[in-house]
Structure 1
Amino acid sequence: MSDYAQYLQERDQIDGLLNQGYSIKSITENLSGAFVEFEKIIGSTITSETLHILTADARKYFSVKLIHR
């Protein structure tokens, strides 16, 4: 898979979670990419999802989304 195709896939995953009402809870970056933890609170139920972001463009993308929210 090309880097651009991988970026598009990661961007779509980020947008999908944000559109479902998740918010970014924490970000952990290391040499293998970034682990972005998303959290959604409905009543007393907390649901979380974690994405492993590999591409630099997708890391820039979620950073911009974090700043805008």
Structure 2
Amino acid sequence: MSEYQDFLQERDRLDFMVQQGYRIKKVTENLSGAFVEFENGEGENETLKILTPDARKYFSVLLLKQQKAGA
């Protein structure tokens, strides 16, 4: 699969989590990707592993929007 297709899948997974009411709680990055931990209002947690650089940029934008909306 092409890297662009990988990005689209990761972006869709991130968007799905946000649409389900989850908020980014914690991000742990390493050299091969990032683990993005989400939490909903009921205390349930989900973690996504993000590998593509474009998806890493995308969740950074989502995090900034989340912080701006919460401020």
Per-residue deviation, residues 2-41 of structure 1 (Å, max 9, x unmatched): 0000000000000000000000000000012000000012
**Equivalent in the alignment of 1:14:** 14
Matches within 5 A, 1:1-69: 1-42=1-42, 46-69=43-66
CA distance in structure 1 between the aligned counterparts of 2:49 and 2:62, rounded to whole angstroms: 16
Q: CA deviation at 1:57?
A: 0.1
Code of the aligned partner of 1:57: D
TM-score by length of 2: 0.90
Structure 1 residue ranges (4+ consecutive) displaced by more than 2 angstroms after TM superposition: none
**Equivalent in the alignment of 2:69:** none
Comparing both structures, which one devotes a greater share of its residues to helix? 2
Identical columns (%): 62
Please give the root-mean-square deviation of Cα atoms over the aligned residues, in Å.
Answer: 0.6
Code of the aligned partner of 1:2: S
Comparing both structures, which one devotes a greater share of its residues to strand? 1
